Amino acid sequence: MKNQWRIILTILLVIIVAIFAILNVESVPVSFGFTTVRWPLILILLVSILIGAVLMILFSTITSVRHNRAYKDLEKELATLNQENDQLKKRLQNSHGKQVVGQQEKQIQDLETQVKALKQQLAAK
């Protein structure tokens, strides 16, 4: 359905351009500074439109290339930051694990000290 609308719009545009061309066939002078030529008005209009379209495509392509380059640079930066984030998470987990082990060892030592104290109390009785 979408392509049908494009075809219809293209046909309408061609018809409008053809009617416009028929209405604007008289020659007009065009001065290039060093010479003057007489060309049909429709030819001047179509060439002007074509030059404008080419310039528009050129500028949009340049802008698109710049955006793509910036996008790729940002993707690389994101990948680097994600990798760094993963490394920091691992370091944090290792650090947290060492803290937990250290706390558990301290608890074990405290409990062993309490056991020794209780054994001494039992031996004293």
Question: In sequence order, what DSSP letters do the residues of 3-23 get, joined into one string?
Answer: HHHHHHHHHHHHHHHHHHHHH
Instruction: Tell me how crowded residue 17 is: count the other CB atoms within 10 A of its CB.
Output: 14
Q: Flag whether pLDDT at 123 surpasses 90.
A: no
What does the pLDDT average to over 102-110? 81
Q: What is the pLDDT of residues 88-104, one digit of tens each?
A: 888 877 777 677 777 77
Higher pLDDT, 113 or 68: 68
Structure confidence at residue 44 (pLDDT)? 86
Q: Which residues lie across from 37 on neighbouring strands?
A: 30
Query: What single letter denotes the amino acid at residue 63?
Result: T
Q: Flag whether pLDDT at 14 surpasses 80.
A: yes
Query: What single letter denotes the amino acid at residue 83?
Result: Q
Whole-number percent of the chain with pLDDT over 70: 98
What are the φ and ψ backbone dihedral angles of 31, each rounded to 5 degrees?
A: -100, 125
Q: Whole-angstrom Cα distance, residue 80 to residue 74?
A: 10
